[in-house]
Amino acid sequence: MFDSGVGGLTVLHECLVSLPHEDYVYLGDTARFPYGDRPRPQIKAFAVELGTRLVDEGAKLLVIACNSATAAALPAMRRSLGDRVPVVAVVAPESRLAASATRNGRVGLLATAATVASGAYGTALAEADPDATLYPVACPGLAPRIQAGREVDEVLVRMADEYCAPLRHAGVDTVILGCTHYPLVRPLLQRALGRGVRLISSGQAIAEEVERHLRIADLEAGRDRRGAYRFICSGDPEDFRRVGTRFLQLPLGDVRRIDVNSAPAAFRGRAVA
């Protein structure tokens, strides 16, 4: 499983709860975080690099736990790696959940600029329910602020209110949290949207997809065992451990650092300008 930072740990948490007998390796590309304001070809190159590294290390299934990477690179990754391992990604699972959850056909999306610009959620929602309408809102700066690991403050409250305002105006009854960082501020977003709006995140949906693909491919581990998990990052391991513990809600243990291509700035456990 990989993500641009620690946000994908919210997905890993659900997999650990639902499939505790499996073994997991999580790679956080914290040296190049955030992906959301990068050009699509660059995100695609990063994603293919990370996915290939994990498969080369022996992964039996690959999870793209990053919405920006999924939007930019999923077809390319399935072409390059799909003959070696099943590839599971965000976007489609949440879109199917949103389509089944909405009562009025108005679905909101909170995501990074790159994810919104890709149109991936619009396509996925249309496939799940052609009659549903997507109202996307780009949220620049929200994921970096969450990754910084600070306490919720007035700045974050104002950001949530600002990003949610167009969705309230549109009358959506369901909102997809289109970034794996956003579940960490779910109560804040719920308050900004109102209690009648259902929030959809990727964690449980991905866990169900992983279980299904492992079963189909006959790759399931024995259920009478306790699986292991370990972590790799491209930035500072201590910062990854400190911030990641909050996201995973479990101890991380040792974190191995790797070098990646084209890493312009090290992750320092704070917002990246």
Query: Burial of 104 by CB count in 10 Å (0-12 exposed, 13-18 middle, 19+ buried)?
Result: exposed
Domain boundaries, the chain: 2-89+204-257, 92-202
Residue 252: its pLDDT value, please?
93
Residue 264: its pLDDT value, please?
42
What average pLDDT does this structure show over 197-209?
91
Condensed to tens digits (0 to 9), the pLDDT of residues 238-258 reads 999 998 998 898 899 999 999
Residue 101: its pLDDT value, please?
96
Condensed to tens digits (0 to 9), the pLDDT of residues 90-132 reads 999 999 999 999 999 999 999 999 899 999 999 999 999 999 9
Condensed to tens digits (0 to 9), the pLDDT of residues 138-186 reads 999 898 888 887 778 899 999 999 999 999 999 999 999 999 889 989 9
Residues with catalytic annotation?
66, 179
Q: Is the pLDDT of residue 236 over 50?
A: yes
Residue type, 66: C
Residue 256 has φ and ψ, to the nearest 5°, of -90, 135
Query: Which of 25-39, 147-161, 222-236, 244-258 has the weakest average pLDDT?
Result: 147-161
Condensed to tens digits (0 to 9), the pLDDT of residues 260-273 reads 985 444 333 333 22
CB-based contacts of 122, cutoff 8 Å, min separation 6: 134, 136
User: Could you tell me the two tokens for 264?
Assistant: 């312009």
What is the rounded distance in angstroms from the CA atom of residue 100 to the CA atom of residue 118?
23
Domain 2-89+204-257 has CATH 2.40.400.10: no
What is the rounded distance in angstroms from the CA atom of residue 158 to the CA atom of residue 146?
14
Share of the chain above pLDDT 90, in %: 81
Whether 92-202 and 2-89+204-257 are alike in CATH topology: the answer is yes
Please tell me the class of the 92-202 domain: alpha beta
Q: What is the mean pLDDT of the chain?
A: 91
Query: Which of 62-66, 223-227, 258-262 has the weakest average pLDDT?
Result: 258-262
Long-range contacts (CB closer than 8 Å, 24 or more residues apart) made by 125-133: 125/95, 125/98, 125/99, 127/92, 127/95, 128/92, 128/95, 128/96, 128/98, 128/99, 128/100, 129/99, 129/102, 129/105, 131/105, 132/98, 132/99, 132/102, 132/105, 132/106, 132/107, 133/105, 133/106, 133/107
Residue 262: its pLDDT value, please?
57
What is the rounded distance in angstroms from the CA atom of residue 118 to the CA atom of residue 45?
16
pTM of the model: 0.84
Residue 203: its pLDDT value, please?
87
What is the rounded distance in angstroms from the CA atom of residue 34 to the CA atom of residue 181?
11
User: Could you tell me the two tokens for 120?
Assistant: 């991936």
How do strand 87-89 and strand 62-64 relate by DSSP bridges?
parallel
157, HSE (Cβ side, Cα atoms, 13 Å): 5
Residue 141: its pLDDT value, please?
86
